[in-house]
Amino acid sequence: MSLFRYTRAGQGPRAPRRHSPLPWIALIALILGGITLGFAWLAGWVGHRLTAQRFTDTIEATGPAHPGFRRAHSKGVCVSGWFAPSAQAPTLSSARVFSQARVPVLGRLSIGGGDPHGADGSARVRSIALQLVSDDGQEWRMAMNSFPFFAVPTAEAFFEQTQAQVPDPATGKPDPQKMAAVLAKYPSAQAFQQWARTAPWTDSWANTRFNSVNSFWFTNAQGQRRAVRWQWQPRTPVAELDADARKRADVDFLSQDLQRRLAAGPVQWDLVVSIAEPGDAIDDPSVPWPDARETVVAGVLSLERMQSQEQGACGELNFDPLILPSGIRGSDDPILAARSAVYSQSFNRRERERAAGAAAQPKEAAR
Ligand code: HEM
């Protein structure tokens, strides 16, 4: 078929009709503009949206920089050992970690706060992070704290709380009015302060109980799905440390204590899983579940060795609580998704700094 069209016989070919390129240019500009806006929105450059970057920037602004270290729970040690599931564990979840006789564990014990050389005696919050790798290559990563519930219900609320901790340039200290406003807005933050004031301080990581706080879904081989929270219940008897003893204690007493205990044998915790009942807060970690919930002891953790976080393998691990094996799923708790995104930011930043030579230094070298 000819590329030319004829109007009337004998008049010869008519010149091709010229289409204006303007609509096409406008369409392409619109698409490109949309893509740019989309990226800008995702990056949080428009609308001042809460992003993982903005959250991490704000956490960084709460204290001095420590390149190469985690932006939170910066002081810690690497640990390793085993998890052995109980006979009841497979009734909860089909996850391979619950049916394999012994699962290797890599972990990290830490204290709250952003100072990698802070005093153990002043850390109200203690933590454990674990990576369980089963023989089919699946992983269960988790990071838990000694507090029994989270201070606030949402990521935005935690962001507000973090903002309130940023020092005021005029005084060099956080503005107490900002924290008072957060406490007035979130009753759970007041309950958290009450816990921090009154809960006993134990004298060791080994006798500290660690709580998942966030909820997860366990599905067993029969397809039965249940919302759960868990805690690592220490087998080491509780011994308290009063305020005077904490002041006198060595800045690194927790790792010194652990070293002594491990020299004598493994340190153990039971995995105690609580099962939700209808009406329990599944997507809000600031609401504790009643103590009367049905519990199942799903296994025992035995830690056998420790290493510094500078030398051990945990230093370069991101204990993202949403890295889960089949048989375990995260709930819709918005804090879980926020944690996953912010940990990844923190991990990328510290890894970049380490690659650039700002490797996390042992305390002596860093001083
Ligand atoms: C939106 C809420 C939260 C934010 C923004 C947040 C932020 C962070 C950041 C930035 C890190 C450092 C991650 C890394 O560099 O690998 C971290 C570590 C940690 N967080 Fe959170 N966190 C939140 C909630 C929680 C909750 C609810 C828990 C426990 C119940 C928790 C427990 C931990 C623990 C144990 C670590 C240390 C993990 C390790 O040893 O690598 N966090 N958090």
pLDDT digits (tens, 9 = 90+) for 190-206: 999 999 999 999 999 99
Closest to 70 (Cα-Cα) out of 356, 360, 346: 346
- With a 6 Å cutoff on the Cβ, whether 343 touches ligand 1 is yes
In a domain, 128, yes or no: yes
Ligand 1 centroid from CA 113, angstroms:
10
318 Cβ below 6 A of ligand 1: yes
Residues constituting the chain: 367
Note whether 75 and 118 are within 8 A (CB).
Answer: yes
Q: Does 360 reside within a domain?
A: no
| 107 closest CA partner among 216, 268, 235, 253 | 268
Determine which residue's CA is closest to atom 16 belonging to ligand 1.
318
Nearest-CA residue for atom 29 of ligand 1: 144
Q: How many domains does the chain have?
A: 1
Inside any domain, residue 103: yes
Confidence at 23, pLDDT banded by 50, 70, 90:
confident
Question: Could you tell me what percent of the chain has a pLDDT over 90?
Answer: 84
pLDDT surpassing 70 at residue 46: no
Testing ligand 1's pocket by substitution, the residue of 342, 347, 351, 352 carrying the most ligand atoms inside 8 A of its CB is: 342
Residue 208 belongs to a domain: yes
Pocket test for ligand 1, best of 77, 111, 316, 339 (most atoms within 8 A of CB): 339
pLDDT digits 0-9 by tens, 273-292 = 999 999 999 999 999 999 99
Both tokens of 175, joined, read 């503005």
Phi and psi angles of residue 247, each rounded to the nearest 5 degrees, phi first: -65, -40
The closest-lying atom of ligand 1 relative to the alpha carbon of residue 150 is 27
Gap between the Cα atoms of 216 and 324, Å rounded: 10
End-to-end CA distance of the chain: 83
Give the distance (Å) from ligand 1 centre to CA of residue 87: 31
Q: Contact, 219 vs 327, CB < 8 A?
A: yes
In a domain, 110, yes or no: yes
- Establish if 342 belongs to a structural domain: yes
Q: What percent of the chain is predicted at pLDDT more than 70?
A: 88
**Which residue has the least CA distance to atom 3 on ligand 1?**
339
Report whether residue 144 contacts ligand 1, using a CB cutoff of 6 Å: yes
* CA–CA separation, 225 and 56 (whole Å): 34
Q: Which two tokens stand for residue 302?
A: 């035995």
Q: Is 335 in the pocket of ligand 1 (CB under 6 A)?
A: yes
Cα radius of gyration rounded to whole Å, the chain: 27
Helices 176-185 and 187-198, axial angle in degrees (round to 10): 110
Over 60: is that where the pLDDT of 62 sits? yes
Cα-based distances in Å from 310 to 20, 347, 366? 65, 15, 12
> Which of 10-19, 21-30, 212-221 has the largest mean confidence?
212-221
Tally of CA atoms within 13 A in the half-sphere of 185 that contains its CB: 15
Nearest atom in ligand 1 to the alpha carbon of residue 349 is 15
Ranking 3-7, 21-25, 199-203, 317-321 by mean pLDDT, the lowest is 3-7
Q: State the distance from the centre of ligand 1 to the C-alpha of 55, rounded, in angstroms.
A: 12
Q: Is 145 in the pocket of ligand 1 (CB under 6 A)?
A: yes
Kindly report the pTM of this predicted structure: 0.88
Looking at the domain assignment, is residue 252 inside a domain? yes
Check residue 58 and give left, alpha or beta (phi > 0: left; psi -120 to 50: alpha): alpha
Give distance in angstroms: CA of 95 to centre of ligand 1: 24
Q: Tokens representing 258? A: 């652990």
Average pLDDT in the chain: 91
Question: Tokens for 15?
Answer: 């010149």
State which residues form the domain around 111. 62-148+199-355
Whether 56 maps to a domain, the answer reads no
Per DSSP, the residues of 260-288 read HHHHHS-EEEEEEEEE--TT--SS-TTSP
Residue 135's φ and ψ, nearest 5 degrees, are -70, -10
Q: Which atom of ligand 1 is nearest to the CA of 59?
A: 10
Which one of 317, 343, 346, 349 would you pick to mutate in the ligand 1 pocket, going by the greatest count of ligand atoms within 8 A of its CB?
343
In angstroms, what is the span from residue 38 Cα to ligand 1's centroid? 28
Q: Per DSSP, what are the bridge partners of residue 85?
A: 299
Cα separation of 123 and 146, whole Å? 11
Check if 117 is active-site.
Answer: no
110 lines ligand 1 (CB under 6 A): yes
Question: Other CB atoms closer than 10 Å to residue 114's CB: what's the count?
Answer: 20
Question: Which CATH number goes with the domain that contains 262?
Answer: 2.40.180.10
* Cβ burial, residue 149 (10 Å; 0-12/13-18/19+): buried
pLDDT at residue 41, as a whole number: 52
Question: Using 50, 70 and 90 to split pLDDT, how confident is the model at 20?
Answer: confident
Output the CA angle 111-117-122, nearest 5 degrees.
Answer: 50
Residue 229 has a CB neighbour count (10 Å cut-off) of 26
Question: Looking at residue 364, what is its pLDDT?
Answer: 44
Q: Distances in Å between the alpha carbon of 159 and those of 164, 167, 268, 280, 340?
A: 9, 15, 35, 25, 15
Tell me the backbone φ, ψ of residue 78, rounded to 5 degrees: -85, 145
| pLDDT of 27 | 79
pLDDT in the model for residue 101: 98
Asked if residue 129 has its Cβ within 6 Å of ligand 1, the reply is yes
pLDDT of residue 363 exceeding 70: no
Which of 31-40, 314-323, 345-354 is predicted least confidently?
A: 31-40
pLDDT digit string, tens, across residues 99-147:
999 999 999 999 999 999 999 999 999 999 999 999 999 999 999 999 9
- pLDDT tens for 134-183 read 999 999 999 999 999 999 999 999 999 999 999 999 999 999 999 999 99
Q: State the pLDDT at residue 30.
A: 75
